[in-house]
Amino acid sequence: MFQNPFSFDGRIRRLEYGLSYLIYIILYLSASFLWQEFPTAALFFYPFISVLIWFLLAQGAKRCHDLGNSGFFQFIPFYGLLMLFQDAQSGINKYGRNPKEVAVSMKDSEENALKFPLGKLSIGHSLLRLSSPILINVLLAAMLMEYLNVSDMELFLYISISVIPCHFLALIMNHNSHALEIDGKGQFKERVIYSSTFYVLVRLYTLYFRDTEIYVQAIFFELIIIGLFLCLTYFSFQLYKVIFRKSSLTL
């Protein structure tokens, strides 16, 4: 339960969805109360509420999958009642195995994930696989920008370094601490998607909350920054291969 709560892949039981909804309500009400008490900290509450909404939508999508439907069904009025009370489809559907039938083991958790041919992951599915750690990385970058009292160059350095552990987390979440199941081209594509999406979201954050601007003549420089983030993902990629290659040899 709650093995990958920010992912839109797979299926979850109605119990987990009900608990997720309860957690969302409690945290949302708590955040709203604190927001009223500390209005000056609004820039912190915006990303926190965004994470809560992402969490609920991801859990709702997986519950829709458990019923054999698209995740968009959760937006249908009163469909939430079915999500809370209707029993799941038995066996395997196109979204994965029935979570009730999945044993709590590493092998079964891998089987519960959708299988794709080597190097054949679509951009959309790769983005879904990476969405949770990217969101965590953006939240971390936002907190650094708002609460770290350092120079712009030092701030950029800290944000850049944050890419390494967050991308490493993405590899752990998507590959279950085992060997990478996609080929070299697919791995590079996921690193490009991670780097570019992370930069775009951080850039949007600075545009909306920090009153920065976009200059056409600076686009080439911004592409260089994306390239820098891409290079940093190489370190986490190599670290993952070294650590979990050794651990797999000892099994």
| Bridge partner residues of 93 (DSSP) | 96
pLDDT (tens place) for every residue of the chain, 251 residues total = 677 787 888 888 888 888 888 888 888 888 787 777 777 666 667 777 888 888 889 899 999 999 988 889 999 988 888 888 888 888 888 888 888 776 444 444 444 444 444 445 567 777 777 888 898 899 889 888 888 888 889 999 999 999 999 998 888 877 764 555 556 677 888 899 999 999 999 999 898 888 888 888 888 889 999 999 999 999 888 888 877 765 444 44
CB 20 within 8 A of CB 74: no
The pLDDT, as a whole number, for residue 195 is: 94
Distance from C-alpha of 165 to C-alpha of 158, rounded to nearest angstrom: 12
Helix, strand or coil for residue 189?
helix
Q: DSSP per residue over 22-50, as a string?
A: HHHHHHHHHHHHHHHH-GGGHHHHHHHHH
Q: Which tokens sit at 111?
A: 């089987």
- Ranges of H-type helices in 67-183: 79-85, 106-111, 123-147, 152-175
Cα 28–159–170 angle (5° rounding)?
A: 65
* Among the listed residues 51, 68, 71, the one whose alpha carbon sits nearest the alpha carbon of residue 9: 71
Q: What is the pTM of this model?
A: 0.57
Closest to 23 measured CA to CA, from 64, 56, 62: 56
Element (H, E) at 92: strand 92-93
Count CB neighbours of 102 within 10 A. Answer: 17
Residues 6+ positions from 52 with CB-CB distance below 8 Å: 24, 27, 28, 31
> Is 64:13 a contact under the CB 8 Å cutoff?
no
Number of residues that this document lists for the chain? 251
CA-to-CA distance for 26 and 11, rounded, in angstroms? 23
Euclidean distance between CA atoms 17 and 149, whole angstroms: 40
Q: Which residue has the tokens 């999958």?
A: 65
Comparing CA positions, the residue from 107, 68, 67 lying closest to residue 83 is: 67
Rounded to a whole number, what is the distance in angstroms from the first to the last CA of the chain? 25
